[in-house]
Chain A
């Protein structure tokens, strides 16, 4: 069974750093792209970026380039999303999601993690 299990909810102060995780199981983790998707309170879905764990090839949405860092450790089948300096506007639920194979073109998200709520407040 394919599963993506994300780390738990976080409460942080503005200016703090954070790294959240997404552990994949039940499939050949290195050979499937993992995406990160943001959902701000009461809002829709926004694609942030993707990573191919096999070689750490990473692509970012222009809206998130330079704002976050996506990484992966294929040895422990885990992908990460990190911030160096959080802002209140980063308050959201963050989902990881798997693409159905090694291709990036024309893809969609077939399995999703349960989401990680990040709250940034002074």
Chain B
């Protein structure tokens, strides 16, 4: 089973700042198989990025994804108030088919 470890657990930043979130896999992951989600408290998750760097429909261009192998990054270039949420990475594997990281909470400083 591939384990995804996200860091930091909590990130405290101010609106307008740049956020860099990390997702590290215990084994190499195909870039095509890595996605990122945003979850605002009380809401369902929302797909942000798939195939490591492709933005989902309707996602602002301040969100970008990068990485390969075992290290992937979600970057939010200039934080807006609505970006403060929990972010999860997710990969497709063998058994189980899909796994999520434990999440990074992005909070207002």
Contacts and interface: CB of A to CB of B under 8 A. Distances in A.
A110 B56 contact: yes
A62 B44 contact: no
Contact of B97 (A50, A110, A113): A50
Interface in A63-113: 63, 95, 97, 104-113
Contacts, number: 60
A50 B33 CA distance: 17
For chain B, which range describes its interface: under 10, 10 to 19, 20 to 34, or 35 or more residues? Answer: 20 to 34
Nearest to A104: B97
A108 B44 contact: no
B32 A95 contact: no
Interface stretch (B15-23, B66-74, B77-85, B87-95): B87-95
A115 interface: yes
Contacts of B37: 45, 109
A107 to B, nearest CB: 6
B56 A95 contact: no
Contacts of B98: 35, 47, 61, 107
A46 B100 contact: yes
Nearest to A50: B97
A47 B97 contact: yes
B96 A63 contact: yes
A108 B49 CA distance: 9
Nearest to B44: A112
A92 B90 CA distance: 20
A108 B50 contact: yes
Interface string B33-47: 101010100001111
A115 B99 CA distance: 19
A110 B54 CA distance: 12
B98 to A, nearest CB: 4
Contacts of A63: 96
Interface of B: 30, 32-33, 35, 37, 39, 44-47, 50, 56, 88, 90, 92, 95-103
The 5 closest A-B pairs by CB, nearest first: A108-B35, A61-B96, A47-B98, A112-B44, A45-B100
